[in-house]
Amino acid sequence: MTTVSLACSACGGALENPQRCRACGAFQPLDPRRDHFATLALRRRFEVDEAELQRRVVAFARDLHPDLAGAAPGVRARAVLGAAQVNEAFAVLRDAHSRGEYLLKLLGGPSATEDKSVPDGFLEAMLDERDAVDAAIAAGGAAAEAVRARFAAELAAGEAALASGFAALAALPDDAPASARDAAFRALRRELNRMAYYRTLARDLREGLYDKEST
């Protein structure tokens, strides 16, 4: 996992947590430009090590725990704000789809509202997938597990496609034509839109099976 090198504004020591120095305990100045990647001292890239991400969040949350920050109200308030920012960053970056949406937005790509495109024939296929969800809920057991596994495989393929697409976007030279960047953005947008459908289907299958078992 690629980290960002920072220095403490108070003692000049190296910062692991961009919001509080572990060497001298000083809270760092608030930076309204700090995004979720910067909050966790990460460079903007799609691929993350989930175990390291979890470790970092736990460590940063400990640094910013209000009960360990000091008694001064201003300091405690700063700690609460910092901890909330860490939790929000983790909630977004831990999930491949939300991380992709967030990174595409940071890089200037189109939102799902601005570009609703999906691969050719995909919407027709989704009608069949909706029928498959209904049938799986009714059948339960192995039939439901097979559909769940297929949706999980589609989402895993989507995550791999996002990793490849963001890597290709990052590899574009600075003097690449705008059309090349736009094409990369559009490809990522289509994949995110495709994944969103499968996430919804997987959720509906999960909730439908839960409701069936609860009745």
Average the pLDDT over 146-169 and give the result: 98
Average the pLDDT over 124-137 and give the result: 97
Model pLDDT, residue 75: 84
Select the more confidently predicted residue: 24 or 93: 93
**Could you confirm whether domain 6-94 is CATH 3.40.640.10?**
no
Q: How confident is the model at residue 70 (pLDDT cuts 50, 70, 90)?
A: low
Model pLDDT, residue 67: 75
Average the pLDDT over 190-211 and give the result: 98
Q: Where are the domains of the chain?
A: 6-94, 112-214
| Least confident window among 23-37, 104-118, 138-152 | 23-37
Model pLDDT, residue 65: 87
Tokens encoding 64? 């910013």
Mean of the per-residue pLDDT values of the chain: 94
Q: For residue 93, is pLDDT > 70?
A: yes
| Least confident window among 26-35, 72-81, 163-172, 185-194 | 72-81
Q: How confident is the model at residue 36 (pLDDT cuts 50, 70, 90)?
A: very high
Model pLDDT, residue 76: 85
Average the pLDDT over 175-180 and give the result: 96
Q: For residue 187, is pLDDT > 90?
A: yes
